[in-house]
Structure 1
Amino acid sequence: MDNNSSHNLSKTELLEENQRLKAELQAMRQASFAQKETESVFAHLIDQAIFPVVIVSIENDAILYANKNAYSYFGLKKETTTLKSADQFWVDSKCRQNFLQELRSKGQVDKFQAVLLTAQGKEKHVLLSSKTIEYQNKAAIYTVFSDITERVRVQTAYTQSENRYHSMYRMVNLMANTLPDLIWAKDLDDNYLFANSAIREKLLKCRPDETLIGKNDLFFAIRERNEGHRHTFGEICLNSDEIVKATRKKGRFLEDGLVRGQYLALDVHKAPMFDDNGELVGTVGAGRDVTADIKIQKALEESERRFRLLANNIRDVLWIADANLTPVYVTPSVEAFSGYTAEEFVRMPFISHMTPKYQRRFGGLFKRMLLAIDNREELSSSFFEFECKRKNGTIVWVEIATSAMWGPTGQLQGFTGMIRDSTKRVQEQLELKHAKKIAIAASQTKSEFLANMSHEIRTPMNGVLGLLQLLQGTELTPLQKKYVDTALGAGKSLLKIISDILDFSKIEAGKVECTKGVVSLRPLVASVMASFETMLDPRQVKLRCAIDPSIPDCIFACGPRLKQILFNLVGNAVKFTANGSIDLDISLVPRQDARQLLLKFSVKDTGIGITKNLQEQLFEPFSQEDGSFRRKYGGTGLGLSIVKNLVEMMGGKVHLESERGVGTVVSFTVLADVLEPELTAIDEEGVDATCPEIVSGEVAKVLVVEDEQINAMVISAMLKSLGLEVVHAADGVRAIEILKEKNFDCVLMDIQMPEMDGVETTREIRHSLENSNVAIPIVALTAHAMKGDREQFMAAGMNDYLSKPVEVEHLVEVLNRLKLNPLKN
């Protein structure tokens, strides 16, 4: 209505309009009041709701409204609410972004699961139901929260429990399949509910990935037999499943038989299986493979049976004792040995069976054993011999072997040993000791006899050969010279026989020394060959020698013994060869050890030869091919025996080859050391045996102490022939008197003399004289030629040694070593 028209209205119409307007205004007022009343009621209802309600500004994420439950749920204070931003309550910002995205796309979100934080930082699991609204003229998000924290906790705990259960199941299953023992479970019909890998593979022979649920043992047994395998396992065993189900008690059973033809034995433990209500639902079992144990047990039983058989039949006594050496077991053989039964013997300590002397010895022995145990020393097997008494009082000697028995942790558990009757052996040993004493006495008697015989024979021979040598130096007719030469040769042959006998006696007694020294090999061999040249007719026999040029000129060996061997072998060849040749060959045998040389000597002749059946015997003492009274060739028969022993002493071997009427080859080897550069002194046996050049000088004075007149005359004549001045003393006492009055350059001292022998005289000179003769060179002049004589003389203070009969060449060598400068005729 416009203003013009209002002027045309009547008063009545105006009043009516006014009333209408008042009524509308009143209605509007009433409607507004009702709306406000409704809004107030609604706000009150929301504020009192049991669920948290929050209104958040979409624009700035500020919290516009939160009901009381929200304040309480999130631990908020009303005055700080507006200071909070909603995103501060979210644990996962990405989760909030997903929430907002879903809200924008759908306009509302129903039961969105999230994790929010309270003002105190505590996590709350919630379901969010939200929609967009307009609040206070602002776009906002209206959200109702449903707390599911407890539900999530329960669900998480359940899930964890499920996981633990499955993990435990897998662990139990893994353990069951890892164990070597067989483990299974069966229902009441004996069908398998569970079986580990061991039973599947060892007994049931399951196929890969085969399930056995609902199958029983018979199923697998029938399948094995149908496939051609020998399967008899359990056929003759008790039905253990039925026994366990019937008795409702656990049991232990031995089940065995063949599986695919191989014997299998199981030690089985079975038990009934009940459910939570106590109802029987099946059986469980575990079986251990005892096949090897049964075999071992059978072997042990067989071993024990054999031991019992041995213990009951053995003559020696086997015993076992505890750590205190108290017997705990002896074999029944103890009764035959001691007269006591095994039971009686065990009740008696070992020491009670011994004689008093050996009881003390046994006590000391046991103390030493215990001390060794305390010191953690190992007790090895030991043998002891004791004198014991039998039950009837007779004496018996026993040999006891003892060993300690140790436990697995090293503790002493006891002792074990053996007792053997050694009476016969001890008696034999006593007899042997007695025989040995007799033999030693006889050997000493023989040695003394040989020493005396050596002296008694060499003393007159010294006179004979000495006089013959002196006679050679005089003017003789040709016939006289022939007789003298022949007599001298016969005397030397006799001396050779005596030397062979003495050498053999010394070898037999083990008294031969083989002292190494520097040896010039070629001069040594030349001297040996030269010794035999005059004994051969060069028109009939050729004497030749060949030495390998690779052999060094000087070696380190035993020159005297090597020379003795060659003298024997070449001498034999000369003796038995009338025509042809005698060859000495020396070669070098290759060796890996560069520090030693292996020399091979070979003496070959074209003599009479030796029959095959006698060749080995020739190395035995006193053995000759022709031992009759009509034999053509002389000798002692000791030469080759001496050679064999000397060669073996020098680290070699000797070998003989011969043919009757053709000849003989005797070869031997010796070990020699390579000469060190600093060793330059030549062994006296390795130089030319001819007399050395003598340098003239002032005449030396020599005192000859000799009780035998002929020997004194011979040695004096030899010395005078060498241009020396000689004084003779008939005994040691006279020699000391002369030495007190006059000075001499040398003394030749006989050993065996009356009143005072040569050794005593030498000691008296060294300790009693007060003049220059106290240090005079003294040379032993003796017929004693046994081992140890030279050492005894040197220990008494002598300087050198000459063996009778004395040869001029040896006398000159000794005088030269003493630098007395004798003159050579």
Structure 2
Amino acid sequence: MRDSTFMGSPYSHQRVTDMIALLVTMGGGVVFSIATVSMAVAMEQPAGVLLLAGSGLSALLFMVALFVVLRSWKAHEKTRDHLLAAQNHLEIADQRQRAMLDGNKFCIIGTDTQGLITVFNTGAEHVLGYRRDELIGKQTPAVLHVQADLARRAQEISEETGQKMEPGFEVLVRRARLNGVEEREVNYVRKDGSLVPVLLSVTTLRDERGEITGFMGVGRDISERRKAERAQRESEERARMLAEHAPAAVAMFDREMRYVVVSRRWLVDYHLEATDVIGRSHYEIFPDMPERWKAIHQRCMAGAVERADADLFEHADGWKQWLRWEVRPWHTVEGEIGGIVMFTQDITGQQETVDALGASEERFRNAFEFAGIGMAIVGLDGRWIRVNGMLCGMLGYAEKDLLKTSFQVLTHPDDIHIDLENVRALLTGESRFFQMEKRYFHRDGHVVWARLTASLVRDAAGAPLHFVSQVEDISEHRRLTENLARARDQALEASRLKSEFLANMSHEIRTPMNGIIGMAGLLMDTDLTVEQREMGSLIQHSSESLLGIINDILDFSKIEAGKLRINPAEFDLREAVEESLALLAPRAHEKRIELISDYGEGLDTPLIGDGGRFRQVLLNLAGNAVKFTGKGEVVVRMRKVQEVAGKVSFRCTVSDTGIGIAPDAQERLFQPFTQADGTTTRRYGGTGLGLAISRQLVGLMGGRIEFESEPGQGSKFWFELTMDQHAAMHPPAPLALPEGTRLVVVDDNDTNRKVFAGQLASLGVVVDVLDDPHKVVPHLEALLAAGTPCRLAVMDWHMPGLDGLELALKIRAHAQLVNLPLVMLSSTGQVGDPRQLAKARFAALLAKPVRAGQLRRCLLSILGRPGSAAGGADGFEEGAGHLHVLMAEDNRTNQIVARRMLEKMGHTVDVVADGRQALDQVGLRKYDCVLMDCQMPEIDGFEATRRIRAGEVPGANRRIPIIALTAYAMAEDRLRCLQAGMNDHVIKPVRIEDLHQAFLRCGLSAGLGGA
């Protein structure tokens, strides 16, 4: 056959192939490998050149054969047939060789000594993806091996031999070259770049002389084996992980009960260490192993499988452990029992939970059966599933009969709708439970009122299971509640009637009282005889006392009804104290007792509180002090307690030198309608409500009231309040008197001296205080001699041995003191003979207790401060305001009283008798304000005011000030006036002062001229 190896020759050649079998050892078997020698013989020339291409061990043999052929050229014709036969023989051998190579599943690759590939069988093509012609003549390491593997192999050989080995072809055949064969696992690189693991056996090829002519590598694809091994390892790892991390404790024992495998859970549960367990006997580790367990082990060693869902294991140290366990044998490969496997799970916690659940269920059963109220489990369709005896008794049914019906059947028709709506809310999850009062029908037909509380029980998935209901019989409670409601309604009606009666009583009493007090006041301003003045004074005092009693009763009634309210507003504390004491001054003067105001520092800032209620408490306490003091003094002291964050706390103390209070009477002192004893009531009068009202008022204002007293020594009452401070008022302008301005004060009362000296010192003057009027003139002379003369002398009227008037005349008789300004202090309002007063030439007469503003104005006037007018000892500053007033009042007496008062104040008045006339008049004429009685025929004051404010009266000023005149003294009456559109209100009986203040509050210039 023609050989492509020689196709480039100009001659025609024939290839002769010889085949030599070589034995190559592969593991435990023999593989045949073929080496060939090809030679080309020029058949056409009688003589020619022999070209030889050879490979393998038979190259030399073929050369010898060719040499013989050449020497026998002359016998060519004779041997030609033999050569052709040999050629045929070689071709057949070559085919056999290829068949053996290509039919082999092994990857067979042959190389020369330099690593060039000479043989590449079909198995190699299949495994590696290359065609034979792609790799013949290529160097093996560069194509088929991973460079990193070659480098690692070179490093290993270098370390073994101590010689540097480069990562090339030699590292693949190093051991084969030395030992003739090497077998190991390597990774071939496929044509697509992927790796394939093979078990490679490398064998040297040698010629007849034993020289290495090449290498033959036979590789077996071990991918499947690798997969199997990996799967085996993974399986073993999974088994190990499963054993170690199983939630149950797992241990494997051999037939001697020695540990073979143990899980982590086992080690944890039994407090063991892995290093101390493997290979040791279970009975050695647990020497107290019960015989019962040893018997279980032996039975399982014989092939039995035993288990328990819950078993109590008691340790020697007393530790009790609940276990779920299983013991079974394990078998060897040969099928024999190799030992046992124990699975245990510590269920102590679960068992305790089960026990607790059982106990809880038992408690629930007992609570259900023996509950003091009806209990029921109700199905989703409303049928009773389980009921207790209490519910059966409540509804009159036997248990078996009640379980045959549903709650819908026994529910009152008026309640079923809301009951079902509540059930729907439970089923939809809108509520977790509901409670309602409903009616059930008793078996005998009567209605049973019950308080139902129901909740829905769901399973673990959230699906509804049933309802749990608690049914409490409230029939008796309902009956009592209805009775209580009726009683409450009756009480409210009685309270309403009482309030209405009090309001009407107030109106009916105050209306004539207005006439009595008003007329008495007007009468006292006329020229009267001594006897007439005495009778008028008695009328005034009696009517004022009666009015006080009425006010106390009304206030107590409001407190008792819970209708008394505190109305915070800005007010001046000093002014409230001084005004209150001014009201009490006449009574104190009559009794010739000193009424003293001792007002401390730090309380000049306006406060936010109920000034009216403060005055009421102070008047109650100070009024009692004046009432129960026969001689001596009543002192009102105001002191700041603390000031924090815009709030000021102060204490008001009222002390007297009166009769005192017996210890046995002190305990009930603040109780209503109570006085120290009956003789006190008969002697001093009063309702016994003042202190009870005061305590209530102080409590409503957030304070407390206390007292201390000794019989015959007097009493001391005090209360503390805390109020917000308002924006600081502008301080009064300084007096700007020359530095060192000196005043002299003489008063035989020690408290008066201290208080008055303090008031003067606060104005920035030097005060000399004397207690004996006989010392005054010598003291004034001494001041003149010292060059520090007195600028003003203040003296009390009543002093022992030498009264104020006599002292003043004595000073006027002194040549150097004749022009000294003098001020008289009087507690009675009367200062003796007018002619003597004229001789004394007093610069001012001041009534005690002296107000701070009054004292300031007096000093400014006397000591010559410009811009100040002299103020009287009492009364109001003159006002130029002349008002034209319309008064609507249906009571004739009240008309006369009010008209006289207004005219006395310098105002003009038109009077009408009802609301309709008031509307007509206000539309016809221009008025500065309207005094509107609230209760009038035809159209009352409220409706008349509403029409004026609504613009329903042609020609009327819708914003005209309207002041209510009312005999109703309740807070709600005042509120009703304001809601009707009135600007202010004055409670009857009306005083000039009340009208004056109301005009001022409405922004009217309301003088008190011409008194």
Q: TM-score, normalised by structure 2?
A: 0.66
* 1:802 corresponds to 2:986: yes
Question: Partner residue of 2:809?
Answer: none
Question: Any idea what SS the aligned residue of 1:788 has?
Answer: helix
**Could you tell me how far 1:473 is from its partner in structure 2?**
1.0
1:210 aligns with 2:276: yes
Mapping of 1:509-548 within 5 angstroms?
509-536=561-588, 542-548=594-600
- Asked if residue 128 in structure 1 is aligned to residue 207 in structure 2, the reply is no
Q: Deviations over 1:479-528 (max 9, x none)?
A: 54344334312321221111111111112222223222111111112212
* 1:204-229 C-alpha deviation (Å, 9 max, x unpaired): x5466213546244x4443x6xxxxx
Residues 734/263 of structure 1: CA separation in 2 closer, same or farther (3 Å cut)? same
Q: CA deviation at 1:316?
A: 0.6
Q: Cα gap change, 1:550/1:372 in structure 2, threshold over 3 Å: closer, same or farther?
A: farther
Which of 883, 889, 903 is the matching residue for 1:706? 889
1:573 Cα deviation after fit: 2.5
- Which deviates more, 544-553 or 809-818? 544-553
Aligned to 1:624: 675
Aligned mates of 2:168, 2:137 — CA distance in 1: 24
- Contact 1:90-1:116 at 8 Å conserved across structures: yes
* Alpha-carbon distance change, 617 to 328 in structure 1, aligned in 2, over 3 angstroms: farther
Shift of residue 188 of structure 1? 5.1
1:476 aligned partner: 528
The counterpart of 2:266, out of the listed 169, 194, 199, is 199
Q: State the one-letter code of the partner of 2:438.
A: F
Q: Distance in 2 between matches of 1:212 and 1:108?
A: 46
| Structure 1 stretch displaced more, 556-565 or 671-680 | 671-680
Aligned counterparts of 1:521 and 1:354: Cα–Cα separation in 2 = 66
By how many angstroms is 1:349 displaced?
1.7
- Opposite residue 491 of structure 2, the aligned amino acid is A
Change (3 A) 1:703 1:245: same
Contact 1:388 1:398 in 2 (8 A): yes
Cα RMSD of the aligned pairs, angstroms, is 4.5
Aligned mate of 1:494, from 546, 550, 560:
546
Match of 1:33 in 2: 68
State the match for 1:312 in structure 2.
369
The question of whether the paired residues in 1 share the 8 Å contact of 2:176 and 2:182 is answered with no
Note the C-alpha offset of 1:706.
Answer: 3.2
Equivalent residue, structure 1, for 2:218: 147
Distance in 2 separating the partners of 1:462 and 1:250: 111
The answer to which structure, 1 or 2, has the higher relative contact order (CA under 8 A, 6+ apart) is 1
Q: Does 1:363 align with 2:422?
A: no
How far did 1:293 drift?
Answer: 2.6
Letter in 2 for 1:811: L
Q: Return 729-738 or 325-334, whichever deviates more.
A: 729-738
Residue number in structure 1 paired with 2:955: 771
Structure 2 SS opposite 1:347: coil
Where do 1:277-316 residues align within 5 Å? 279-316=336-373
Deviates most, 758-767 or 267-276: 758-767
Shift of the alpha carbon at 1:802?
A: 1.9
In 2, Cα distance between the equivalents of 1:146 and 1:348?
A: 94
Give matches, 1:392-541, under 5 Å: 392-536=444-588
Deviation, structure 1 residue 442: 1.3
Pick from 308, 313, 316: which aligns with 1:257?
A: 313
Deviation at 1:553, TM superposition (A): 1.5
Q: Deviations over 1:20-53 (max 9, x none)?
A: xxxxxxxxx999529999x999999997777879
- 8 Å CA contact retained: 1:115, 1:126: no
Change (3 A) 1:79 1:326: closer
**Structure 2 contact 600–639 (Cα < 8 Å) conserved:** yes
Name 2:766's counterpart in structure 1: none
User: TM-score with structure 1 length normalisation?
Assistant: 0.80
Give 2:430's match in structure 1, choosing from 372, 377, 386. Answer: 377
Match of 1:167 in 2: 237
Q: Distance in 1 between matches of 2:421 and 2:143?
A: 89
Paired with 1:687 and 1:443, the residues of 2 have a C-alpha distance of 46
SS of 2:513's equivalent in the other structure is: helix
From 783, 793, 807, give the equivalent of 2:977.
793
SS of the equivalent of 1:209 reads helix
Please report how far the alpha carbon of residue 571 of structure 1 lies from its aligned counterpart in structure 2 after TM superposition.
1.8
Letter in 2 for 1:339: G
The worse-fitting range, judged by mean Cα deviation, of 341-350 and 747-756 is 747-756
1:110 corresponding residue in structure 2: 180
Residues 377-426 of structure 1 show CA distances to partners (whole Å, capped at 9, x for unaligned) of 334x4331123221122332211123344555555444323111111111
Letter in 2 for 1:266: L
Distance in 1 (CA, whole Å) between partners of 2:304 and 2:674 is: 99
Tell me which amino acid in the other structure corresponds to 1:725.
Answer: T
Write the distance in 1 (CA, Å) between the matches of 2:476 and 2:71.
139
Q: Give 2:112's match in structure 1, choosing from 41, 50, 56.
A: 56
In structure 1, C-alpha distance between the alignment counterparts of 2:663 and 2:638, rounded to whole Å: 25
Letter in 1 for 2:245: M
CA 1:653–1:239: 2 relative to 1, 3 Å: farther
How far apart, CA to CA, are the structure 1 residues paired with 2:282 and 2:71?
Answer: 83
- One-letter amino acid of the structure 2 residue matched with residue 819 of structure 1: L
The one of 642, 648, 668 equivalent to 2:693 is 642
Distance in 2 (alpha carbons) for counterparts of 1:755 and 1:79: 136
**Structure 1 residues 163-199: Cα deviation after superposition (integer angstroms, max 9, x where no partner):** 33553343234324xx3x3222344565554443443
Cα 1:105–1:551, aligned 2, differ >3 Å: closer, same or farther? same
Residue correspondences, number: 764
Q: SS of 2:726's equivalent?
A: coil
Cα drift, residue 465 of structure 1 = 1.0
Post-superposition CA distance 1:123-164 (Å, at most 9, x none): 6654333378899xxx995124141324x5576456535533
Distance 1:382 1:705, change over 3 A: same
Report Cα offsets for 1:695-744 as digits up to 9, x if no partner: 325x5443443333332222222222223333443445555565666554
Is 2:907 the counterpart of 1:724? yes
SS at match of 2:719: strand
For 2:258 and 2:909, the matched residues in 1 are separated by 129
Contact residue 406 and residue 414 of structure 1 kept, 8 A: yes
Between the aligned residues of both structures, percent identity stands at: 27
| Superimposed CA distance per residue, residues 770-794 of structure 1 (whole angstroms, 9 cap, x where no aligned partner) | 3347765443223222232233334
Secondary structure class of the residue paired with 1:148 = strand
State the 1:451 CA deviation.
1.4
Gap runs ≥5 in structure 2: 1-63, 73-82, 102-107, 154-165, 732-851, 855-872
